[in-house]
Amino acid sequence: MRNCKVINGESLTQQHRLVVADCHIKADTKVKHKNQRQQRIMWWKLKEEALRNKFKEKVLEKLRLPKGVQEWWEINSNIIRKAGEEILGKISGKGPPEEKETWWWNKEVQKEIKEKKEAKMRWDLTGSQEDMETYKMRKKNEKRAAARAKAKAVEEAYEEIEKKNGERHA
């Protein structure tokens, strides 16, 4: 608050006077990420044999055999988790919003999305007209693939519901 003044003669009621002041309010400029989620270990990478063997060696190297079950779990679960973080890595915690539906995505949609992202990165790096056109084409292809996949998935879901309803009545 700066430059505060009471204006005499201007009263709202008998006991109250009009006060004029310059007020500076600092706005919070931090942007909170709506899509921020918990970072998780990428356990699905254990499907790859090389990573699986590396993980197995790391865990067996540090594994301990305490007497109690609770003590065993507390010690070894941390060892397993740390080895997973170190070897497999963690997801960033960013990504699609929680409410975004992706249950109907198939390999084709994922391929189109990946191509679109690569085209966008290329366009961002070069800034050329040709890369912009490629990105726009990829974006259009991705939207079409997503629409086809969603329509197909919804149709299959309705068929499954109708099939189940028919079985119930039979």
| DSSP alpha helix (H) spans, 63-128 | 69-88, 107-126
User: Which of the listed ranges 19-23, 57-61, 118-122 does the model predict with the highest average pLDDT?
Assistant: 118-122
Structure tokens, 19: 């006060």
d(CA 38, CA 98): 12
Q: Taking residues 116-139, what's their average pLDDT?
A: 94
- Tell me the C-alpha to C-alpha distance, in Å, between residue 135 and each of 102, 112, 120, 123, 132: 22, 11, 6, 7, 5
Whether residue 104 contacts residue 144, with contact meaning beta carbons closer than 8 Å, is answered with no
d(CA 108, CA 104): 11
Tell me: the pLDDT tens digits for 66-89? Answer: 788 888 888 888 999 999 999 988
Q: According to the model, what pLDDT value does residue 146 have?
A: 92
Helix (H) or strand (E) segment spanning residue 19: strand 17-22
Q: According to the model, what pLDDT value does residue 170 have?
A: 38
